[in-house]
Structure 1
Amino acid sequence: MPGLRFAFGTLSVLRVRVARWDREAGGRAMVCAPLVGLVLGAFAAGLGALACWRGGALLGAVTAVAALAALTRGLHLDGLADVADGLGSGKPAEDALRIMKQSDIGPFGVLTLLLVLLAQIACLTGQFALSPGRGALAVLTAAVAGRCALGWGCLRRVPAARPGGLGAMVASTVPVPAAAAGTALSALALALLGLHPRYALALAVAQLAAAALLLRCVRRFGGITGDVLGALVETAALAALLVLALGP
């Protein structure tokens, strides 16, 4: 329960009291993060399907993307923009981390946000055009795939880039078997729900895309931050949607 409370209390707008704020609870929260994606994704998928039924595929896609952003207070999108600014700055790790911590968004962040959101909407529009149910499953897959990436981003061999903040709280807290189990169960659940292996494949490819970004950030910044974790979520979500859009 402390891990679930931590996960929903920090990764969503749901009013959940976080009873414990320590590394053990944080590690459990990252393992439980796919459950957060399941709940938020189901809600956004339902809204998107309803909007698609009443107003068309494009409206369904925009509604689903907006719902996920609202349900997380834009937390992961903000992290994506900050990481883009940090990586794009070309400055040493300490200066790049300082840029990421600033409240404003630079040109790299704005451009990355714009392209990622447009790509997500484009992919979902194609899925909703096939059917509201197909679009809803794509939304759910992206939401779960993004949160699976959090467990891999907090593996015990992945350090924190700086002391303090959510990144330092959850860095190096998740054993590999726990992250693998969470991803495997999520992939199985999505495959059974969608009655097709494409959803499991999309989730698996999403983790590879997130891993590539994670490796780049660890080499560039010396570890992870809360912003890096947010960027992993959005990167994995987009990768999952691209697989579904480009696949059969």
Structure 2
Amino acid sequence: MQAIRGLVTAFRTLTILPLPGRDTDRFCTALYWFPAAGLFLGSVQTYCAFAVAMSGWYEFSGLAMIVSGVLLTRGLHADGLADLADGFWGGKTKEAALRIMKDPSVGSFGALALILITLLKWVAVIKLVELQYYTPLVSGVLLARWSQVLLASTMPYARSEGGTAQTFVTGAGVPHLLVTTIASISMLWVILYANPELVVVALSAAFASAVCIGYLSYRKIGGVTGDVLGAASELCEASVWISCVLFSL
């Protein structure tokens, strides 16, 4: 029963889908379902990109991929990236960074981060669509959610007063990371069966981006927050897509 409730919580948190049922009592249980949610999101987004690409207008195909992702997630992770950029580059101390990250307004660093990540992802999607490599697009979104589990399972929560993401981070550990890693690799093998070498490329890019964000976050605020997890997701998608483009050239 808790497993099904974890599925409900995962999809309610990561998507706009109002799944029926009760949320899990321990939100860390939802982490087991994050890769599945990523697979769903990636599949829908990639279908939108593919449908538009049929017209031959690849620039709008890239836009469809990105906009559909924002709509399906309510811009949750993009908001996290903006908050992280404002806090990490605008706050000189841990306390200042956390205070800025909690501010709902977007500053100059956050705006620049959103513009740059959107342009980077847009360019990568256009190139993958031109190459007719749609499976790496799905893989990037899937691994972006796995990267959240990686950080939540290996790092402490940074806010002493608690916060929204604390319920996910508290109780997360090796079992969550192990199960989601096995599940993610299994799904990648199915998705990328025609190009198995891309499994290694995608996983390496996802792991590297997550480690970089985790290291930066630990140095700056001593752990993770919901904004850090959201930012990791955004950067992971871009890293996987760019890496797959470079490998395929």
Do both share a fold (TM > 0.5)? Answer: yes
Q: What's 2:130 paired with?
A: 129
Aligned 8 A contact 1:120 1:241 in 2? yes
SS in 2 for 1:165: coil
1:186-197 to structure 2, matched below 5 A, reads 186-194=184-192, 195-196=194-195, 197=197
Q: Give the Å deviation of 1:156.
A: 5.2
**Alpha-carbon distance between aligned partners in 2 of 1:118 and 1:157, rounded to the nearest angstrom:** 30
Q: What's 1:170 paired with?
A: 168
Q: What's 2:238 paired with?
A: 238
Q: What's 1:218 paired with?
A: 218
Q: What's 2:19 paired with?
A: 16
Q: What's 2:159 paired with?
A: 161
**Alpha-carbon distance between aligned partners in 2 of 1:55 and 1:210, rounded to the nearest angstrom:** 34
Large movers: runs of 4+ above 6 Å: none
Aligned 8 A contact 1:154 1:173 in 2? no
Q: What's 2:198 paired with?
A: 198
- In the TM superposition, what whole-angstrom CA distance separates every residue of 1:160-202 from its partner, at most 9, and x where no partner exists? 4243332211124222243133123323322332221213421
Q: Percent identity?
A: 29
In structure 1, list runs of 5 or more residues that go unmatched.
none
Aligned 8 A contact 2:6 2:24 in 1? no
Aligned length: 243
**AA aligned opposite 1:64:** M
Q: Does residue 51 of structure 2 align to residue 50 of structure 1? A: yes
Q: What's 1:179 paired with?
A: 177
Aligned 8 A contact 1:146 1:206 in 2? yes
CA RMSD of aligned residues (A): 1.7
**Alpha-carbon distance between aligned partners in 2 of 1:37 and 1:230, rounded to the nearest angstrom:** 13
Aligned 8 A contact 1:156 1:173 in 2? no
**Alpha-carbon distance between aligned partners in 1 of 2:160 and 2:21, rounded to the nearest angstrom:** 23
**Alpha-carbon distance between aligned partners in 1 of 2:21 and 2:109, rounded to the nearest angstrom:** 34
Q: Does residue 89 of structure 2 align to residue 78 of structure 1? A: no
Aligned 8 A contact 1:152 1:176 in 2? no
Q: Give the Å deviation of 1:159.
A: 2.9
- In the TM superposition, what whole-angstrom CA distance separates every residue of 1:39-64 from its partner, at most 9, and x where no partner exists? 11111111110001114221111101
**Alpha-carbon distance between aligned partners in 2 of 1:86 and 1:172, rounded to the nearest angstrom:** 23
Aligned 8 A contact 1:31 1:174 in 2? no
Q: What's 2:101 paired with?
A: 100
Q: What's 2:30 paired with?
A: 29
**Alpha-carbon distance between aligned partners in 2 of 1:3 and 1:27, rounded to the nearest angstrom:** 8
Q: Give the TM-score normalised by the residue count of structure 1.
A: 0.91
In structure 2, list runs of 5 or more residues that go unmatched.
none
The 1:88/1:157 distance shift into structure 2, 3 A limit, reads: closer
Q: Give the TM-score normalised by the residue count of structure 2.
A: 0.91
**Alpha-carbon distance between aligned partners in 2 of 1:157 and 1:139, rounded to the nearest angstrom:** 28
